């Protein structure tokens, strides 16, 4: 049995989908034939969701970087793998061919080896969006070290927690990172994160901004020196060589921390073969990628979108991936459109929050920009509202580019539900149909499948019935946490934490999280995490955090805070609280609104009734539902009256 790897028509999608469900092992084995293996698998899939245990391509041996780089060299060595557009448009663009990428990744691998990094060791990467970040990731993968990339906006405390959880011994960072007009002092944040740390032995520092940094003898070393030394070691007779580590299909490839409904972020673990195959297959099919096209994903590699759809998916497909260091509004709100025009970008993949923010500048920043190279547009990270969808379609795609609305999560590795560009129909604000191999199901609170009685649209909690190759394998160091978070809510199902609608044609529309997780500007933040951070402030007794609709961010953060002591200046106290949250988590978690309250609506058993707080934050002051179970119903009126 053989399937066409790249789906060309709606009929082919239907056929591939049917086969992938009826014979998943044969389907994925056929897709896996398109990759380079040191040894083929013994068994395509073993799984049960009880433990959970999921193994794809067990027994197979490979190295992901041989698939992302080496196998393209003979035919496409001089093709650009990465195009790097710097923060400052005046600075030189860097074009990294597959040959050059190969050399750099071999150098990084050698550098890591020289510093004692071995297969299975955890390497924390805290860098800005420079090509060296991609080299660092792939260098780890080449020697089998497990990378844990931390987004450059996280605080020292967040890094410290992640370093400890992963027991990381190595860090790769930059002196600083450019972000619009700002310089983020990354190395200095790392220094703070390392106070009291007992595991980290080496910090490799890449020079980007030339801001002064401290360098501790015996611990901190310069990337440039190490890379130069490594270069001499890997060059033999004019050829570049660094033997890639042979990995088992199920060896971990990376850890990526993400927020959940509890206070502590989880280290989501993805493994080599399944992750590679799934990101590659979804990249090629969702964007309908054609060889030679220029593909631009605006995400940061600190998030899963950057891992899967800047680095691993595109490079394993031999694509040209454009990497951008800056922000959409610097030096002006035409930055994305300049980049599209300058590099003749064919595929643009961005987030609704970016679209909404750029919409606010009107169409002036688009004037004089030639966007005619664009063929496909994509959206990721949160539900795209119809207004943003139409603006994107009309002003950017000029009504001739399909928009793919891609639903997925850190835990899923790649896209699970999306239309396929130009192949399956789009429907504004609907993610539409599942990818081949993906079996969604909507369930009610008791885990019972919601079945339509007529041709009506149904609603429920979005689960998956069976594993796809990119499914989360474990949460680092705590498998039970993985089970309780994703596989225990409903028996025999993976639970996404999202609610969804399904129409009579089988299209899905994601309605948002049904747990205590917020999605702020496409970034996942747990309410408990923000509450913990607010509660660290000396004057705070208790807090409750909820989301509310925000025009640009999608969701804003609304905090209700009980103070133990009121200072003369409430506004200053608010600023102190914001600063505290920035220090504990990072600026991305700062509440948009802080309301000081006398009490929180609690039941007699002490449970906060968040439903009421959510409604008040949303401005829905009537119909708060039954408040008779509250210990002190009068606090509700007070909160309502002082609403911000
Ligand atoms: O709520 C969903 C939302 O983002 C969550 C996953 O966040 P994260 O793991 O950080 O990954 C973001 C990049 C994939 C989901 O649980 N989400 C993501 N994509 C969409 C979405 N909501 C609606 N529509 C989407 N296309």
The pLDDT of 271-285, averaged and rounded, is 98
Q: Is 380 in the pocket of ligand 1 (CB under 6 A)?
A: yes
User: Alpha helices of 167-255 — where are they, by DSSP H?
Assistant: 186-193, 223-234
Index of the ligand 1 atom closest to the CA of residue 303: 10
In tens, the pLDDT along 375-428 reads 999 999 999 999 999 999 999 999 999 999 999 999 999 999 999 999 999 999
In tens, the pLDDT along 415-431 reads 999 999 999 999 999 99
Q: Which of 576, 566, 449 has its CA nearest to residue 502?
A: 449
What pLDDT does residue 314 have?
98
Kindly report the protein residue whose alpha carbon is nearest to atom 5 of ligand 1: 409
Q: Are 131 and 176 in contact (CB under 8 A)?
A: no
The pLDDT of 593-605, averaged and rounded, is 94
Residue corresponding to tokens 């970034």:
523
In tens, the pLDDT along 542-559 reads 999 999 999 999 999 999
**Which residues of the chain are in CATH 3.40.50.12780 domains?**
10-63+252-513
What pLDDT does residue 568 have?
83
132 alpha carbon – ligand 1 mean position (Å) = 27
Contacts of 18 (CB under 8 A, 6+ apart): none
For domain 98-245, is the CATH number 3.10.180.10?
no
In tens, the pLDDT along 459-478 reads 999 999 999 999 999 999 99
CA distance 348 to 360: 19
Kindly report the protein residue whose alpha carbon is nearest to atom 21 of ligand 1: 382
Q: Is 293 in the pocket of ligand 1 (CB under 6 A)?
A: no
Q: Which residues of 397-420 are buried (b: 16+ CB within 10 A; e: fewer)?
A: beeebbbbbbbbbbbbbbbbbbbb
CA distance 328 to 354: 7
Q: Is 408 in the pocket of ligand 1 (CB under 6 A)?
A: yes
Q: Is 191 in the pocket of ligand 1 (CB under 6 A)?
A: no
Contacts of 446 (CB under 8 A, 6+ apart): none
Query: What's this model's pTM, rounded to 2 decimal places?
Result: 0.96
Structure confidence at residue 567 as a pLDDT band (50, 70, 90) = confident
φ, ψ dihedrals at 19, nearest 5°: -65, -40
Index of the ligand 1 atom closest to the CA of residue 384: 24
What pLDDT does residue 630 have?
86
In tens, the pLDDT along 33-57 reads 999 999 999 999 999 999 999 999 9
Structure confidence at residue 305 as a pLDDT band (50, 70, 90) = very high
In tens, the pLDDT along 94-144 reads 999 999 999 999 999 999 999 999 999 999 999 999 999 999 999 999 999
Work out the mean pLDDT of the chain and round it to a whole number.
96
Which CATH number applies to 10-63+252-513? Answer: 3.40.50.12780
φ, ψ dihedrals at 234, nearest 5°: -90, -10
Q: Are 326 and 86 in contact (CB under 8 A)?
A: yes
Q: Is 518 in the pocket of ligand 1 (CB under 6 A)?
A: no
Which fold does the domain 517-641 belong to in CATH? GMP Synthetase; Chain A, domain 3 (3.30.300)
524 alpha carbon – ligand 1 mean position (Å) = 8
CA distance 129 to 87: 9
409 alpha carbon – ligand 1 mean position (Å) = 5
Indicate if the pLDDT at residue 458 is higher than 80: yes
3-state secondary structure 405-447: EEECCHHHCCCCECCCCCCCCCECCECECECCCCCEEEECCCC
What pLDDT does residue 629 have?
81
Structure confidence at residue 3 as a pLDDT band (50, 70, 90) = low
The pLDDT of 637-643, averaged and rounded, is 93
**Which residues of the chain are in CATH 3.30.300.30 domains?**
517-641
In tens, the pLDDT along 136-169 reads 999 999 999 999 999 999 999 999 999 999 999 9
Q: Are 460 and 499 in contact (CB under 8 A)?
A: yes
Q: Are 257 and 268 in contact (CB under 8 A)?
A: yes
**Which residues of the chain are in CATH 3.40.50.980 domains?**
98-245
């Amino acid at each position: 049995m053989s399937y066409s790897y790249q789906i060309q028509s709606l009929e082919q999608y239907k056929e591939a989908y049917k086969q992938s469900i009826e014979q998943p092992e044969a389907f994925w084995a056929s897709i896996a034939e398109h990759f380079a293996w040191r040894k083929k698998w013994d068994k395509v899939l073993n799984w049960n969701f009880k433990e959970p245990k999921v193994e794809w391509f067990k027994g197979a041996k490979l190295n992901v970087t041989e698939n992302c780089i080496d196998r393209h060299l003979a035919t496409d060595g001089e093709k650009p793998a990465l195009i790097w557009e710097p923060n400052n448009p005046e600075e030189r663009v860097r074009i990294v061919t597959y040959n050059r990428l190969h050399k750099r990744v071999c150098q990084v691998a050698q550098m890591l080896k020289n510093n004692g990094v071995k297969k299975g060791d955890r390497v924390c990467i805290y860098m800005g969006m420079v090509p060296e970040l991609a080299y660092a990731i792939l260098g780890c993968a080449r020697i089998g070290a497990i990378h844990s990339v931390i987004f450059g906006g996280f605080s020292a405390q967040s890094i410290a927690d992640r370093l400890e959880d992963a027991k990381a011994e190595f860090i790769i960072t930059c002196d600083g990172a450019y972000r619009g007009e700002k310089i983020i002092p990354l190395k200095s944040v790392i220094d703070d994160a390392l106070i009291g740390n007992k595991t980290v032995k080496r910090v490799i520092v890449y020079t980007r901004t030339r801001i002064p940094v401290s360098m501790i003898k015996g611990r901190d070393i310069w990337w440039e020196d190490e890379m130069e030394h490594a270069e001499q070691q890997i060059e033999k007779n004019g050829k570049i060589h660094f033997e890639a580590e042979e990995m088992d299909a199920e060896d971990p490839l990376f850890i990526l921390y993400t927020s959940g409904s509890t206070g502590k972020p989880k280290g989501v673990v993805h493994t080599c073969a399944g992750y590679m195959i799934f990101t590659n297959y979804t990249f090629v099919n969702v964007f309908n990628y054609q060889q030679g096209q220029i593909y631009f994903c605006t995400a940061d590699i600190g998030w899963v979108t950057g891992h899967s759809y800047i680095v691993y998916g595109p490079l394993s497909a031999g694509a040209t991936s454009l990497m951008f260091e800056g922000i959409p509004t610097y030096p002006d709100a035409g930055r994305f459109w300049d980049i599209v025009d300058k590099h003749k970008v064919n595929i643009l993949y961005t987030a609704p929050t970016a679209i909404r923010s750029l919409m606010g500048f009107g169409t002036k920043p688009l004037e004089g920009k030639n966007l005619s190279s664009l063929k496909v547009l994509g959206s990721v990270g949160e539900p795209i509202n119809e207004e943003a969808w139409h603006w994107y379609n009309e002003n950017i795609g000029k009504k001739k580019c399909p928009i793919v609305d891609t639903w997925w999560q850190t835990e899923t590795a790649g896209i699970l539900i999306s239309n396929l560009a130009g192949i399956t129909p789009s429907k504004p604000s609907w993610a539409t149909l599942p990818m081949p191999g993906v079996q969604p199901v909507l369930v009610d609170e008791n885990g019972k499948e919601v079945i339509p009685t007529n041709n009506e649209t149904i609603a429920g909690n979005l689960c998956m019935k069976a594993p796809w190759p990119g499914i989360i394998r474990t949460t680092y160091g705590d498998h039970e946490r993985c089970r309780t978070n994703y596989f225990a809510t409903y028996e025999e199902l993976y639970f996404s934490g999202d609610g969804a609608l399904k129409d009579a044609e089988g299209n899905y529309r994601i309605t948002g999280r049904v747990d205590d997780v917020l999605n702020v500007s496409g970034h996942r933040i747990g309410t408990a995490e923000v509450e913990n951070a607010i509660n660290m402030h000396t004057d705070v007794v208790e807090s409750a955090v909820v989301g509310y609709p925000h025009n640009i961010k999608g969701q804003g953060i609304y905090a209700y805070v009980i103070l133990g002591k009121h200072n003369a200046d409430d506004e200053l106290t608010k600023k102190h609280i914001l600063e505290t949250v920035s220090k504990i988590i990072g600026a991305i978690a700062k509440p948009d609104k802080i309301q000081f309250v006398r009490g929180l609506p609690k039941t007699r058993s002490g449970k906060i009734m968040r439903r009421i707080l959510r409604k008040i934050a949303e401005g829905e002051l009537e119909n708060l539902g039954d408040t008779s179970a509250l210990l002190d119903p009068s606090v509700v009126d007070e909160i309502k009256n002082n609403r911000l």
